[in-house]
Structures are given as C-alpha cells and as structure tokens.
Amino acid sequence: MTSAGEREVGPSGSDSAGAGPRWPPVPWAERMLGEARFGHLATVDARGTPTVVPCCFALVDGDVGEAPALVSVMDEKPKRVDDRETRRVRDIVATGSVALVVDDEDEDWSRLAWVLVRGRATIIGPGEVGHAGAVMALRTKYAQYREMTLEGRLVIRVGDLSALAWRATPEGTVPAKSPSPIGPVDVTPRFRDAMGMIRGRRSVRVFTADPVPQDVVRQAIEAAGWAPSPHGRQPWRFAVVDSESAKRALADAMARTWEEQLALDGQAPEVIAVRLRKGRERLLGAPTLVVPCLFPEVLDAYPDPDRREAERVMAIQSLGAAVQTMLLWLYAEGWDAGWMCAPLFCPDVVRETLDLPVDLIPHALIPIGRAEREPVRRERLPPGDLIVGWR
Ligand SMILES: Cc1cc2nc3c(=O)[nH]c(=O)nc-3n(C[C@H](O)[C@H](O)[C@H](O)COP(=O)(O)O)c2cc1C
C-alpha cells in the first residue's frame, strides 16, 4: 500500500528509504513489535518458494551487545503433520532465511503501520541452549502458553535481526479524528491500538467448557479495582462463583423469581419454560461467574435525599466502570466475558443464595470463559451522532 506519507524509517526516526534495514528500529516500531500479539512469518525453501504463516512470538535478549532475537514455538495448536515436517521448519532447515511482519490494520488509513523484521532462523530442540529461555519469554507474553507443555516442542529462533518500519503518521503525533476546539492533537500514544482493544471486546454468551484459572479471575478483579470511583472509595465488591453446586443453586433460585416475574408479565407457560431453560443453560454453561455488588457502606452520608441519591448514582456509575475495566482486561488477555443484568431484578435472592454480607447489593453477573463462537456484533453510532453539543 502506498500513500504520500509512505516512508521507511531507520534508527532514531530518520527517514531511511533506500538505506538498508537496521536494528534497532525506531522506538514506536520496537514497541509495536514487542506488544504485537502475533505476526506473519515468511519462510522460503531451497527453490525460492515462499510460505507465510501467522505465528505467536516474543523478543528475547541477544548476546551481549547484539540485537535481540525473536523466538516462536511449535505449540500444541493442531497441525496436520509432525512439527519437523511442517513447511516452516523444513524451510528453515533448508535456507534459514525468514521475515516476519506485524501490522496495524484500521479503516482509518492514517492509523496504518507495519514493521518488517528479517533474520536468520535456526531450530532449537528440547533441552538445547536457548530453549528454556525462549519458552519462558513466550509464557511471560502469552497466558495461553502457561497451560501448554512446551518443554518437548521445537523452538524457532531468529537472530541477526534487521527491521524496516512504516507508519502513516510520523512518530509523536496521532491523527486528529475530528476538528478539535483546542487545536491539533500532538501527544505520544501511550498504548498501541487501544481502539482495537476497545472495539474488539464483545459480549459473549456461549462458552467452551475450558475452566478459568483462579489467578485470571483475581487479576480481572484487580483490574476492576483500578476503575475510577467516587472519592476513590471503590464502592463495590465481587463474589466469584465457579463451583457447579453454587452455580446450580444460583440458577435455581434466580429461576424461581424469574418465573414469578414472567407470569406477572402475562407470558404463556410454554414461553416461560423455554426462557427459564435458556437462562439456566447460560448460567451453568459459563465456567466462572463474577457477581459485582454495590457496597454503599463506604459512600458519604448526607442528610438530604437529593445528595444521597447523587452519591448512590455515582456508586452505580463507578460499578459500571469497574465492570468495563474488568471486561477490557479479560479481552486483552485472551479471555471472553459477557454481562447479565438478572441479579438486579432479584438482589436479595442472589445475596441469600451466595451467603453474601447484608450490606452488598448484587448488580450483575459476569460470565467468564472462552467464546465457543464469535457473537454477532451490534453496530455503533458514529461519534457525530453521539455528540450533541460542541460549543
Ligand atoms: C448494564 C448492562 C446490562 C446488560 N445485561 C445483559 C443481559 O442481561 N443479557 C445479555 O445478553 N446482555 C446484556 N448486556 C450486554 C449488552 O446486550 C451488550 O453490551 C450490547 O448488546 C452491545 O454488545 P457488545 O457488548 O457485544 O458490544 C448488558 C449490558 C449492560 C451494560
């Protein structure tokens, strides 16, 4: 893809179109490479036939004074043939010549960027020098690898790295999306592709049976704890439900209340039966449920009802922020989650069933796991429709 802004950049941000690729790349490109969740690895066989495969990778320190190396592992993801027979491993054994590209896609082409790395690849067998370090680096970067046995797998190490990078917008600026009343935006982005994470998160309603490690749940709740809250008091607490017996008790208790409410709405018994069955399946099908509860005890107490109500609303706003922070963290770490409002309609039932303290008000159910399939997304309004005034 070409555009007026296209250029290759070398060290220290200087344009270096025409000069050869070098290491280290400019800071944004090095950061992009370090943070990329995957890249596309190109290998070539002895006859010059290329192959490209997506791959997870990590950067590891090179020898003293040398550029880092890039490592990838032939992991447990299903493959049609034995690791040594895969095209990429055969190509590396034959030629050792590889390239890897990471890129930022965006419909807004002023946000496009890519980094291309070339190097010499070798295959490291289990127990050989560099194998354990590579596995450790990959496990540090990818939570999924912490649960896979990688000690017996082949590692690909790419050394002698050189890099080329291109980005539509020069380093140190982000393109302004709309005219700003405070002049042109000129800030260094703190995160690469924050919009990608925000747009990528979605409500998942059907999960695989894969369990969620307790540590993941703990970290998700830690993330929630960093949400903004009134007076910084964090007026919320979280109950975790991951045992079959507790899930079942919760599903049964909530179903009883829901049945009454649906009957009150005048719904036909057969419709009620289907909705109850589906609701129950959804609860039991989620490996872990987190129940965010409002904890009003820590709020300021006011003598007048208006300020009391404002304080209560602030706490609820903040509970939403805490849940969203948790959802974003889970998504960023490769987990999936949803949002169910059911406890809001029967807080006492949920509190009693889970034996929670009386000063907690259950507000939602957050099912966590791994998505069984991609959910259908809902369209979003463009910012112009959301902004009602800009004076
Ligand atoms: C307060 C709140 C309550 C919600 N309750 C439910 C619910 O009970 N069941 C459900 O399937 N989704 C529920 N959702 C998820 C929304 O349906 C979902 O966020 C919306 O359709 C946008 O889709 P997305 O999250 O995939 O972007 C809730 C979301 C919020 C913020």
More confident residue, 211 or 12: 211
Cβ 341 under 6 angstroms from ligand 1 = yes
Q: Does 107 score more than 70 pLDDT? A: yes
Q: What is the mean pLDDT of residues 130-153?
A: 88
Ligand 1, atom 7: nearest CA belongs to which residue? 340
- Is the separation of the CB atoms in 240 and 349 below 8 Å? no
Is any atom of ligand 1 closer than 6 Å to the C-beta of 192?
no
Q: Provide the 8-state DSSP code for 153.
A: S
Residue type present at position 161: L
Q: Which atom of ligand 1 lies closest to the CA of 377?
A: 26
Q: For ligand 1, atom 31, name the residue with the nearest CA.
A: 339
The predicted structure's pLDDT at residue 20: 52
Of 341, 365, 379, best ligand 1 pocket probe by most atoms within 8 Å of the beta carbon: 341
How does pLDDT run across 12-52, given as a tens digit for each residue?
A: 333 333 445 577 788 888 888 888 999 999 999 999 999 99
Mean pLDDT of 271-294: 96
Question: Mean pLDDT over all residues of the chain?
Answer: 87
Lowest mean pLDDT among 189-193, 281-285, 332-336: 189-193
Enumerate domains of the chain plus CATH numbers. Answer: 11-167 (2.30.110.10), 200-369 (3.40.109.10)
Contact 324 CB / ligand 1 (< 6 Å): no
Percent of the chain with pLDDT over 90: 65
177, pLDDT greater than 60: no
Q: In terms of C-beta density within 10 A (0-12 exposed, 13-18 middle, 19 or more buried), how is residue 104 classed?
A: middle
Residue 306's Cβ-count burial label (10 Å; 0-12, 13-18, 19+) is: exposed
| Least trusted range by pLDDT, from 88-97, 180-189, 299-308, 332-341 | 180-189
pTM: 0.58
Residue 340 Cα to ligand 1 midpoint, Å, equals 7
Ligand 1 pocket residue status of 378, Cβ below 6 Å: yes
- Run of H or E residues at 253: helix 244-264
Q: For residue range 66-101, list pLDDT tens digits in order.
A: 778 999 999 877 777 788 899 999 999 999 999 999
Ligand 1 close to Cβ of residue 286 (< 6 A): no
pLDDT band at 61 (very low <50, low <70, confident <90, very high): confident
Residue 188 pLDDT grade (very low, low, confident, very high; cuts 50, 70, 90): low
Q: Is residue 219 scored above 70 in pLDDT?
A: yes
| Per-residue pLDDT, 290 | 98
Q: Among 19-23, 56-60, 376-380, where is mean pLDDT lowest? A: 19-23
Task: Identify the CA nearest to 242 among candidates 265, 274, 258, 218.
Answer: 218
Under the banding of pLDDT at 50, 70 and 90, the label for residue 64 is low
Q: Is the CB of 339 under 6 A from ligand 1?
A: yes
Greater model confidence, 264 or 377? 264
Determine which residue's CA is closest to atom 11 belonging to ligand 1.
340
Which of ligand 1's atoms lies nearest the C-alpha of 323? Answer: 31
Does the pLDDT of residue 173 top 80, yes or no?
no
| CA gap 32, 37 in Å, rounded | 10
Counting from 1 in the atom list of ligand 1, the atom nearest the Cα of 342 is 8
Is 122 near ligand 1, meaning CB less than 6 Å away? Answer: no
Q: How far is the CA of 320 from the centre of ligand 1 (A)?
A: 12
Is the minimum distance from the CB of 203 to ligand 1 under 6 angstroms? yes
